[in-house]
Every structure is written in C-alpha cells, then in structure tokens.
Structure 1
C-alpha cells in the first residue's frame, strides 16, 4: 500500500537530514492539529497568467478567513521565468515554502532532496483519503509523497462530431484496435475527399512523446528507469514510428504542410481532421478553437482493444525541505488541494479535481461535463500511476516533435529520428 511506503520513508528522510525544523513539529513528528489562530509566515508561488493569479488570490483570501494569522507571501511568473527562478532558488536551498510543480520537474527536484515528505501529514493536516492510489503514486518519488495533485486528466482520443455528422461517418468507439483505427482514418479520408478543404481522419498520431508513453504502457513496458534514463532503445522508437508507415507513405495523414500553415492549430483544432489524441482536459481548448461543443471522447485504440490507463497529474503542490514552517505549509497544501470552495473558483482549469467532493463543487461547463464523464467511464481501467518523468523531459518532448516534423517532410528516416533522439537524451539525461 502506498501509505505504508510513505510511513516507511520517514526514517530515510531523517537519516538524509532533509527534515526542516519548526516550532510546531518536524516532518517526522508532524502535527496532527493546526489551531486556526497559529501565527506563521509562508511563501507560495505558481506559474500562470493574470487570470490564474486572480483565482489564486481569491483562494488564498479564503484560506486567510480560516487561518487569519498565517501570512502567505504570494508570487507568480510566466512558465519560462518560473523555472528560471525556481532553479536559482533550488541551487541555494531556498525554495518557497509551497510551490506549484509540474510532473516533468518533480523527480529532478525530489532526487536532490529539495522537498518535504508530505506522507508524514497524511491522516492529520493533509487529507488524501479521497485520492486514487495511482494518482498519489504519481506524486511519490523514492517512496516519499512530494507532490499532491490539484487536478488530473487521462490520455484520450477526441473526435469532431460536426465533421463526422456532415460526412456521414459513425463515431469511433472505445474498443477499437490499431487496425480498426487505420481503417477508420481511411474511411474518413474517403468521405472527406470532395470536401473543400479536404477532411482527413487524423494527423500522424506518432507525432508526440505522450503517445509513445501510452503505447509503452499498453505493452507493460517502462518508459524511464528509476535513475532517470530511457527504459527503451532505438528499436522501440523505430518500431513505433514504422507502425503507421503505410499511412504516412501513402499520404493518408493530414498534410504536414497544411498543419504548419495552420500552426498552432493543426488539423483537428483547425476543423479539418476528425480525430485528436491528447489529454482529456484539452477538450476545453478543442471546443474553443474549433468553435463547437460537439466534441466526443473515447479511449485511444490499442493493439488488441484492451487498455492500461493512468491518471496524469496536471498540477502538483510541493513543500520545500528548507521550509521553516512545514506545518503551516502542509495546511495550505491541504486547503488548496481539497477545499470545495477552491475547486469552485478554478473549475477544471487545473485538471479535473481528484476527489468526488471536489468535482461536485465545480459548476461544470460543457467541456467539464465531457471530461468528467470520460474520466468516470474509465475509472475502473486506471490501474497504473503515470510514469515518473526525468529532468529534461520537456526538452526531450520538444525534440520528438521537431524530429517528427522532419520525418513527415521526408528529410530524415525513422532510424535517423531514433539516433538524433538518443543523442539529445544522452546530453540531457547522461
């Protein structure tokens, strides 16, 4: 059980000297009660735009209504500036008390001993009883709970109902095999051949690293090692890319030239392709960009129509190991992660709330309804935590996309794709 792992990790954390001192208790002797009149000052930082900042300010104002003597020093940055600042702070062991984390950075920071093990607070100041074990595992590094998800999503296949209705093509189903998918793409292509502009079934769906991760999961294969290296080889990459070579070589995917011309929309968001493979929360973007609420969502096809699914954390909250007020920081994490009032403020903008109570507090938009319904439908099939991503993952994902565009233009082969990808990973991962 995950909770047993968290408790067992406490002694290891103390032995490593990663615990921070506080007048109200150290992490391995964590307080179970935090009186509302306790005085403390903590810092909290997040990334995002002005709209997200307004929402966080509203949430923190609610926190101060409950804990009026806990001063929260607030700060936010745009995405790029955020990580520049955090990396500088991390080098000096001076991270903010509470910080928003991305799954791609969680392992890197945790491996450096920069986070508090929040497992010590479970059942006390931190309530995780409504969270799926698989989701909490995605915030667990070296058997320590270092990130509490504020929201989650899952890999999916979206489809444009308006286009398919216009073409007279039935909607895809959640039990499709990869062979079924290939046949479906060709069916849409044939129906949309005389449309102006021509309608395609899909863009090349090997174009993103998350799709490769999904494929690895279906085969029960790991993606990255515990040490942060690749758990796959060049042959795995070429096999994946070559699995759709017939469609690619025949020009049956949405044309790369047209996709580049429509950038950043691409075929699906531009209303010229029927299918899109992405995380479920992005249905809101699809509705906005295409200008329709008629978007459906099913599980992405697999080799045999069976699925191995994971809940993917969209945002996480962590507490710095250098915090002088770990109990106050843990209380803030609990409030932001669990308060129904906070969930009502953010809706599903940070991903679907992880608990039933949180989801019930959201006044669901049309996109939320599709996302939540999809997540409910696959709940019994979410059996794995999302793979822990290594430091440098974002650069590796970007490299995959760049190489895939070159592949579509015919500038490189799949073997050259794999060679260049591994050269990038060797540089980033060691």
Structure 2
C-alpha cells in the first residue's frame, strides 16, 4: 500500500521541509501537533483536507499528518509510544484502545468534556465504546460493522445469483464455487478468512461464544478453532477459496484484499470501507452481511466503533489536541469532506448535514447500518491487553495451517495455548 503523510508530501514536492506540514507553511510560533492514522489513499486525501480546514481556522496550530497501512500501523505506533515520540492525536481501534489506555499512553478525555470537547450531537451512549473505569480513552469516529464485499459485476457476468442477506455459509460456499467455475474474470469465489479475526468472531458469536470474556479471558476453546480451520480447509479443497500462496498476498488493506486484486468475487472487510473499495475497483461492489451458521439463532454482527480518536498522554498541547478532535468529529463542513469513509458519523448534526450529499456508496453504507438490527447483537466486552498480539498470531497460525505446516488440531493447540500465555502476562 502507498504511504502518505510525510513520505507522500516529500515525494510530491521533492523538498524535505515540506514533509513537516500537511498544509501551508505555519508561523514560527505555531503549536505543532502530529496526527497518525491508517487507511487508504481516499482516506488520506480526506483527512489532509480537514487538517487544512482546521489550520486555516486556527492559524496558531500546525498539524503534521502521517498515515500508513494497517499492517504497518501498530508497529509504528508502538515504536513511537515506546520512544516517547507519540503523535498528539491517534487513530485507534476498539481492539487496541484499552490496551494503550491501561498502559498510560492515552490521555483521559473526560476532564475536557464540558467546553473544549463539547461534542455537540453526540450522545453519552455513543461515548461508551471509548470508556473504561470512568475514563474516556477515545471518541468514536463512526459506526460500522463487518461486511462481505461482493463483486456484483463478476456474479452478473457469470450468470450467478448474488449472495443475499440471510444466506447460510453452505449456500455462500456453493455460490462461490459456481462463480469461480463460470467466471472469466476471477479464479476463486471467496477469500480465505481462516486467519481473519473478525470473521472468526462473527462465526463464534453465532455459535453462542465470543473471542473474550468480560474478565479478559478466552471465550472459545480448541474445538472451536479446529472446526474453524477444517471449515476453511474444505473451502480451499473445493476451489471456493484460493490456495495459501494467493491468499498470502492480502496485507489487510483495501488495495490488497482479494476482491481488489481480482482473485475472488467475495471478500471480507468493514462496512465503512465500501467507499474505498468502490473508488479503486472498476466493477460494482455491494455489501452483504456475513453468512449465517445454519441452525443458529444468535447474532454474529454488532455495531462497532469504526475507529476512535485518542490524544496521547504525553502531548504538550492537550487542549489544542482535544479541540481538533472535537472539530474532526462534529464540524458539519468537516463531516461533508470525511463523508462516511470512516463509518456513519455518531454526531446527529453531522449525519443529517451529510445525508443529502451522500453518493450511492455512502447511502448504501448508511442503509447497511440502518438495516443491520436483525443480524446484530450486543457490543462485546473490550478486548483485553494482548488482544492485538493474538490477532497477529491468528494470521500467522492460520497461514501455517493453510500451507500444511500444522494440522488443524496442532494449529488450534498453538493458537489457544499461546493466546492464554499472552493473556496471563
């Protein structure tokens, strides 16, 4: 994935000094903030535009923007935090938020709520996803959920019906096999998600389980993992999913998703990413809920904070950082620029301001979230410290099982024992 921010500006301008700013050259006495986020090129362009808007309205503040892909993001953030060089404003994920908060890396935002972080149009309920022990570690940027990204063009040209909400995994498997056999465009039907934590969680929740308990322990066991690995082994053996060397090309970004690479007709992502998928794919991309586990009456989906904005505990300018967060989330003009690329805005006033201006993909995302109730359960407990490491381990172990280096049973034992060891630290 392309990197933007400092590298992007330097490459375009060819001047090293230009990499220090995301907008016009600031005054010498400007308060210099840094913001770090992950995402695609469309997200980078939108974010830099909002940064420019804020700097124009606040000439005493200069904001340097940095962005990298998901696969590199957490390594960079961890390195910067450990090196006492944390960005002032940090894009966070629900999986990692409380780990960083509990380690003292994030500022408690509650003391700023009355004036600087007023968050007009945001309900107290919407803030709960960023709170723990009475402290506000991050403010939700928008609401999303996991979704299947379906190449409608590939299905239509192959003469195969599109997957529909309410289809079971067995039905989606048959559709994946059929579209792979009949399409001249793609070689496989559905990406291999054996190492994709959100897909595993959705499947677990439909089976009455989850990733973690409220006490921060594993909520699944080895038998669940064995069943999951065997399920995806059957997908690969049937030709529905690609072999591991093809799936390994996916680096957890929109650009490297198997749908965007042209290898499969179905991929898995988050609903807010439809905008990015549509902008880099010529084919029509539509969203569907994850397939259902046959016979289950449990909801696998939930309304998830797409990302959250946090402020580093080490910032020299906490008030300015909080003010920028408030602007980013609740300013209606900023909302029109950001659109729904980061999820459906949590601010009522922003949501209503952008609704008339949403394009087809934006409306599709809004309608997806508004129609998710039959498939959505409660928000799971906050992931415990170490959950991010376990997520990365799931990718690694899933690949080892897919390549035949481990049996499903061996992979399950390694994943569970290693995850329990991480959680016990």
Report the TM range for the smaller structure's normalisation. Answer: 0.7 to 0.9
- Shift in Å, 1:326: 4.0
Q: Report if the CA contact (8 A) 2:189-2:241 is conserved.
A: yes
Q: Which of the residues 325, 332, 337 maps onto 1:345? A: 337
Indicate if the aligned counterparts of 2:145 and 2:301 stay in contact, CA closer than 8 A: yes
CA-to-aligned-CA distance 1:321-346 (integer Å, 9 cap, x gap): 45565444332221111111112223
The one of 99, 108, 111 equivalent to 1:117 is 108
1:397 matched to 2:391: yes
Q: Is the 8 A contact 1:185 1:200 kept in 2?
A: no
Instruction: Write out aligned runs for 1:119-158 (5 A).
Output: 119-122=110-113, 124-128=115-119, 130-131=121-122, 135-158=126-149
Show the counterpart of 2:222: 234
Alignment partners' CA distance in 1, 2:267 and 2:361: 15
1:312 correspondence with 2:299: no
Structure 1 132/274 Cα, relative in aligned 2: closer, same or farther at 3 Å? farther
**For 2:267, what is the secondary structure of its paired residue?**
strand
| Equivalent in 238, 241, 246 of residue 259 of structure 1 | 246
Within the candidate set 152, 156, 159, 1:168 is matched to: 159
Q: CA deviation at 1:145?
A: 1.7
Give the RMSD, CA atoms, in angstroms: 3.8
Q: Which is further off, 187-196 or 149-158?
A: 187-196
Q: Does 1:181 align with 2:184?
A: no
Indicate conservation of the 8 Å contact 1:256/1:405, yes or no: no
Partner residue of 1:10?
none
1:223 matched residue in structure 2: 211
Q: For 2:404, what is the secondary structure of its paired residue?
A: coil
Q: What residue number does 2:64 align with? A: 74
Q: By how many angstroms is 1:135 displaced?
A: 4.9
| CA displacement, residues 291-349 of structure 1 (integer Å, 9 cap, x when unaligned) | 21252433542443652532223332123345565444332221111111112223333
Q: 1:154, CA displacement in angstroms?
A: 0.6
Q: How big is each residue's C-alpha offset from its partner over 1:77-106, in whole Å with a ceiling of 9 and x where there is no partner? A: 546886566546645877554333233431
What is the aligned residue count?
387
SS in 2 for 1:193: helix
Q: Deviations over 1:42-85 (max 9, x none)?
A: 734213588766644543443355555x5345353546886566
Deviation at 1:368, TM superposition (A): 2.4
- Rounded Cα–Cα distance in structure 1 between residues aligned with 2:419 and 2:147: 27
Distance in 2 (CA, whole Å) between partners of 1:235 and 1:286 is 35
Name the CA distance, whole Å, in 1 between partners of 2:299 and 2:192. 21
Aligned equivalent of 1:373: 367
1:269 aligned counterpart, secondary structure: coil
Give 1:1-80 correspondences, 5 Å limit: 41=31, 43-48=33-38, 55-64=46-55, 66-67=57-58, 71-76=61-66, 78=68
Equivalent-residue separation in structure 2 for 1:92 and 1:188 (angstroms): 47
Answer yes or no: is 1:364 the counterpart of 2:358: yes
1:412 aligns with 2:406: yes
Q: Against the structure 1 CA distance between its residues 336 and 287, is the aligned structure 2 distance closer, same or farther, given a 3 Å change threshold?
A: closer
By how many angstroms is 1:168 displaced? Answer: 3.0
> How far off is 1:140 after superposition?
1.7
Compute the TM-score of the two structures, normalised by the length of structure 2.
Answer: 0.74
In structure 2, the residue corresponding to 1:291 is in which secondary structure?
Answer: coil
Higher relative contact order (CA 8 A, sep 6+): 1
Contact 2:119 2:329 in 1 (8 A): no
- Change beyond 3 A, Cα 1:299–1:197: closer
2:419 to 411, 421, 425: 425
When residues 233 and 135 of structure 1 are mapped into structure 2, their CA distance, relative to the original with a 3 A threshold, is farther
TM norm structure 1? 0.74
**Which residue among 260, 266, 277 is the counterpart of 1:275?**
266
Moved over 6 A (4+): none
Partner of 2:92: 101
Q: 1:280 to 1:387 in 2, by over 3 A?
A: farther
Q: Is the Cα contact below 8 Å between 2:247 and 2:258 reproduced in 1?
A: no
Q: Is the 8 A contact 1:259 1:266 kept in 2?
A: no
Greater mean alpha carbon deviation, residues 154-163 or residues 404-413: 404-413
State the distance in 1 between where 2:165 and 2:41 align.
38
Contact 2:116 2:323 in 1 (8 A): yes
Distance 1:352 1:41, change over 3 A: same
Distance (whole Å) between structure 2 residues aligned to residue 346 and residue 189 of structure 1: 37
Q: Work out whether residues 76 and 82 of structure 1, in 8 Å CA contact, stay in contact via their aligned partners in 2.
A: no
Equivalent pair of 2:92/2:309 in contact (CA under 8 Å): yes
Match of 1:206 in 2: 194
Paired with 1:323 and 1:200, the residues of 2 have a C-alpha distance of 48
CA spacing shift, 1:379–1:190, aligned 2, 3 Å: closer
Indicate the larger mover: 287-296 or 127-136.
127-136
- In the TM superposition, residue 138 of structure 1 has moved relative to its aligned partner by 2.4
Using the alignment, how far apart are the partners of 2:405 and 2:415 within structure 1?
A: 15
Q: Distance in 1 between matches of 2:221 and 2:272?
A: 31
